[in-house]
């Protein structure tokens, strides 16, 4: 059975250094997948390849049956790929509302969906405030909301645990589950394993 996102025999890296070797991955609709590993194992390289920041040297990336590997990053967004970067990377001089609007498709005519504000009510309260004046946690919420606004089929979160660290532990999976059911068809999560100290 074909998946929503299919990665076949993917190879990618930097100039002469190949980091990803013949990766195979299939993600079904409504599925949450975690890519785990130590530093230097290729997690960030995979995400950069997925969003088109790095071109793969071999293999294919298909989203809902459409090949993405020849598309530029902005074209991949248009075709259903969203990305929540590490470090937030919001527009600090723009308002919260304007930040979210940068992720909206043209068909939305600048109107932010109500369900985004239901997920992150603080963004409604602060929608006129400059992004750079938000706290770190609020900026993280804004980065997620902007990605959700793209109405993409799949979202890549560099580290969803730190992105959502402002939430109480009991709320983390509730928020992810709401997003997965109602806004994203699939969420790819990426993080380092948790080291437990005894």
Question: In the chain, what are the domains?
Answer: 5-191 (3.40.50.300)
Q: What is the structure's pLDDT at 191?
A: 46
Which one is predicted more confidently, 181 or 126? Answer: 126
Tell me, what's the pLDDT at 36?
A: 81
Closest C-alpha among 40, 56, 44 to residue 85: 44
Q: What is the pLDDT of residues 138-174, one digit of tens each?
A: 888 898 888 888 877 777 776 555 545 544 444 555 5
Q: What's the pLDDT score for residue 193?
A: 45
Q: Kindly report the pTM of this predicted structure.
A: 0.74
How far does the chain reach from its first CA to its final CA, in angstroms?
A: 43
Could you tell me the pLDDT band of residue 183, with boundaries at 50, 70 and 90? Answer: very low
- Work out the average pLDDT over 41-59: 91
Kindly give, in sequence order, each residue whose CB lies less than 8 Å from that of residue 194, ignoring residues fewer than 6 positions away.
none
31 pLDDT band (50/70/90 cuts)? confident
Give me the pLDDT at residue 38, please: 83
pLDDT tens-digit profile of 109-146? 999 988 888 888 899 999 999 999 998 888 888 988 88
Distance CA 80, CA 36 (A): 23
What proportion of the chain, given as a percentage, has pLDDT over 90? 37
SS3 content of the chain, % helix, strand, coil (to 5): 35, 25, 40
Which segment of 59-63, 70-74, 152-156, 179-183 scores lowest on mean pLDDT?
179-183
What would the mean pLDDT of 93-97 be, rounded to a whole number?
A: 96
Mean pLDDT confidence for 47-56 = 92
In 3D space, the residue among 147, 141, 142 whose CA is nearest the CA of residue 186 turns out to be 147
pLDDT at 174: 55
Please tell me the distance from the alpha carbon of residue 89 to that of residue 13, in angstroms, as a whole number: 23
Q: CA–CA separation, 33 vs 10, rounded Å? A: 17
For residue 123, what are the contacts with CB-CB under 8 A and spacing of at least 6?
96, 100, 116, 117, 138, 141, 142, 145
CA distances from 197 to 55, 159, 194 (A): 39, 21, 10
Containing 116, the helix (H) or strand (E) segment is helix 114-119
pLDDT of residue 62: 94
**CA 70/CA 116 separation, integer angstroms:** 31
pLDDT (0 to 100) of residue 161: 59
């Amino acid at each position: 059975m074909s998946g929503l996102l299919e990665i076949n025999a993917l190879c990618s890296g930097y100039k002469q250094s190949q980091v990803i070797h013949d990766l195979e991955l299939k993600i079904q609709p409504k599925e949450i997948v975690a890519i785990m590993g130590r530093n230097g194992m290729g997690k960030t390289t995979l995400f950069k390849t997925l969003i088109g920041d790095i071109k793969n040297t071999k293999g294919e990336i298909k989203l809902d049956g459409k090949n993405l590997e020849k598309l530029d990053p902005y074209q991949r967004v248009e075709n259903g790929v969203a990305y929540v970067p590490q470090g937030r990377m919001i527009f600090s001089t723009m308002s919260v509302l304007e930040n979210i609007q940068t992720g909206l498709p043209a068909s939305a005519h600048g109107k932010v969906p109500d369900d985004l504000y239901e997920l992150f009510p603080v963004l409604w309260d602060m929608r006129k405030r400059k992004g750079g004046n938000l706290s770190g946690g609020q900026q993280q919420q804004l980065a997620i909301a902007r990605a959700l606004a793209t109405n993409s089929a799949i979202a890549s979160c560099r580290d969803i645990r730190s992105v959502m660290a402002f939430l109480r532990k009991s709320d983390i999976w509730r928020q992810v589950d709401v997003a997965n059911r109602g806004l994203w068809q699939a969420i790819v999560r990426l993080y380092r394993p948790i080291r437990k100290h005894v």
